[in-house]
Protein backbone atom coordinates (compact mmCIF):
# COMPACT_ATOMS: atom_id res chain seq x y z
CA UNK A 1 0.00 0.00 0.00
CA UNK A 2 1.37 3.42 -0.93
CA UNK A 3 1.27 5.62 2.18
CA UNK A 4 3.07 8.59 0.66
CA UNK A 5 0.55 9.27 -2.12
CA UNK A 6 -2.63 10.67 -0.50
CA UNK A 7 -3.76 14.29 -0.79
CA UNK A 8 -2.96 15.09 2.85
CA UNK A 9 0.74 14.53 2.10
CA UNK A 10 1.55 18.26 1.93
CA UNK A 11 5.26 17.81 1.24
CA UNK A 12 4.64 15.16 -1.41
CA UNK A 13 7.14 12.80 0.17
CA UNK A 14 7.38 9.79 -2.13
CA UNK A 15 9.61 7.11 -0.69
CA UNK A 16 8.94 3.39 -1.28
CA UNK A 17 11.28 2.49 1.62
CA UNK A 18 9.11 4.58 3.98
CA UNK A 19 5.95 2.89 2.68
CA UNK A 20 7.43 -0.58 3.19
CA UNK A 21 8.73 0.27 6.66
CA UNK A 22 5.36 1.63 7.74
CA UNK A 23 3.53 -1.49 6.60
CA UNK A 24 6.08 -3.77 8.27
CA UNK A 25 6.24 -1.75 11.50
CA UNK A 26 2.49 -1.96 11.99
CA UNK A 27 2.76 -5.75 12.15
CA UNK A 28 6.04 -5.99 14.07
CA UNK A 29 5.58 -7.65 17.48
CA UNK A 30 9.12 -7.06 18.74
CA UNK A 31 8.92 -3.68 20.46
CA UNK A 32 12.64 -2.91 20.10
CA UNK A 33 12.60 -3.71 16.37
CA UNK A 34 9.39 -1.69 15.88
CA UNK A 35 11.00 1.28 17.67
CA UNK A 36 14.01 1.06 15.31
CA UNK A 37 11.70 0.97 12.29
CA UNK A 38 9.73 4.04 13.37
CA UNK A 39 12.98 5.81 14.25
CA UNK A 40 14.35 5.16 10.76
CA UNK A 41 11.06 6.39 9.27
CA UNK A 42 11.44 9.63 11.25
CA UNK A 43 14.94 10.09 9.78
CA UNK A 44 13.56 9.54 6.28
CA UNK A 45 10.86 12.16 6.85
CA UNK A 46 13.44 14.54 8.33
CA UNK A 47 15.86 14.12 5.43
CA UNK A 48 13.42 13.89 2.53
CA UNK A 49 10.12 15.31 3.77
CA UNK A 50 10.59 18.95 2.83
CA UNK A 51 9.04 20.35 6.00
CA UNK A 52 10.85 22.65 8.41
CA UNK A 53 9.40 22.46 11.91
CA UNK A 54 11.62 24.45 14.25
CA UNK A 55 10.16 23.18 17.51
CA UNK A 56 7.49 21.19 19.28
CA UNK A 57 5.70 22.91 22.13
CA UNK A 58 5.34 20.88 25.27
CA UNK A 59 2.67 22.53 27.41
CA UNK A 60 1.04 20.86 30.36
CA UNK A 61 -1.84 22.59 32.09
CA UNK A 62 -3.76 21.27 35.06
CA UNK A 63 -6.22 22.57 37.60
CA UNK A 64 -8.60 21.37 40.28
CA UNK A 65 -12.35 21.71 40.79
CA UNK A 66 -11.52 24.07 43.67
CA UNK A 67 -10.12 26.58 41.17
CA UNK A 68 -12.78 29.09 40.13
CA UNK A 69 -12.74 31.41 37.12
CA UNK A 70 -10.58 29.11 35.00
CA UNK A 71 -11.29 29.16 31.25
CA UNK A 72 -9.80 26.37 29.15
CA UNK A 73 -7.99 27.84 26.17
CA UNK A 74 -5.84 25.38 24.20
CA UNK A 75 -4.17 28.21 22.29
CA UNK A 76 -3.00 30.19 25.33
CA UNK A 77 -0.90 29.04 28.27
CA UNK A 78 -2.39 29.87 31.69
CA UNK A 79 -5.28 31.81 30.15
CA UNK A 80 -2.77 33.98 28.26
CA UNK A 81 -1.06 34.78 31.55
CA UNK A 82 -4.24 36.09 33.21
CA UNK A 83 -4.84 33.06 35.44
CA UNK A 84 -3.21 34.63 38.53
CA UNK A 85 -5.47 37.69 38.10
CA UNK A 86 -8.75 36.02 37.14
CA UNK A 87 -8.79 32.80 39.18
CA UNK A 88 -9.38 32.04 42.84
CA UNK A 89 -9.73 29.01 45.06
CA UNK A 90 -13.15 28.23 46.49
Going by C-beta distance under 8 Å and a sequence separation of 6 or more, which residues neighbour residue 86?
69, 71, 79
Cα gap 18→26, rounded to integer Å: 12
pLDDT tens, the chain, 90 aa long: 556 666 767 778 888 999 899 999 999 999 999 999 999 999 998 888 877 767 776 766 777 889 999 888 777 778 888 888 899 998
- How much is the pLDDT for 65? 86
The DSSP result for 21-75, as a single string, is: HHHHHHH---HHHHHHHHHHHHHHHHHHS---------------TTEES----TT
Amino acid sequence: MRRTQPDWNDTRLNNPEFDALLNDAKGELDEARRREMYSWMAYLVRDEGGLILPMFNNFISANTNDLQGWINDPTQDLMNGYAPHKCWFA
